[in-house]
Amino acid sequence: MDMRLVGGIPLVSVELGRGCTGDFLVDVGSSFGLTLHGSLVRSCRLFDNILGHKQVEVNGGGVGASYVSWLSRLDRVRIGPYEWEQPIAGLSLRTSGMVGSKDYGGNIGNVVLERFKVTFDYERRKLYLEPGRRFADPERFSRIGAVFVRCPGASSPRTS
């Protein structure tokens, strides 16, 4: 599939169903799956589309800021020719910072990428996806309820 580069980061088109599409950053540094930015969530009225699905409020963080998002299942997602149902996505309503971006619809992280064998061809601006052994697996999400944060000026444990 075609990809653009934004500051060296791949950007690809993703379809979330019901005519909702956006350009998503391929974020190999993210341990999550799909993060949907506030502008896309609002323009596609995604909270209207997930009524009836369980939603869990979570705190997250990324480049430049922490944020609140709501985890829920979408009906489906399509990346290139590949589609699967019931993906878990983090929906943000931020209007600032990266997840408030009006330039990008969201981020694709490693939980999505691990469904595939992924090849980045930067020279030809292509992203090759080949279904891997986890492609058809249903998504699961578990949280232990802990977040580790480094606070400037806070004391740290010392070892002897």
- Distances, alpha carbon 140 to alpha carbons 33, 103, 109, 137, in Å: 11, 29, 15, 9
Give the pLDDT score at 159: 46
Is the entire prediction scored with pTM above 0.75? yes
* Beta carbons of 143 and 125 less than 8 angstroms apart: no
pLDDT at 27 over 80: yes
Q: What is the mean predicted confidence (pLDDT) over 141-146?
A: 54
Q: What tokens appear for 122 in the block?
A: 């930067």
Higher per-residue confidence, 83 vs 50: 83
| Alpha carbon distances (Å) from 149 to 90, 146, 152 | 20, 10, 10
> Is residue 37 within 8 Å of residue 103, measured between CB atoms?
no
Residue 69 above 80 pLDDT? no
In this structure, which amino acid lies at residue 111?
V
Percent of the chain past pLDDT 90, that is, above it, reads 39
- Tell me, what's the pLDDT at 158? 45
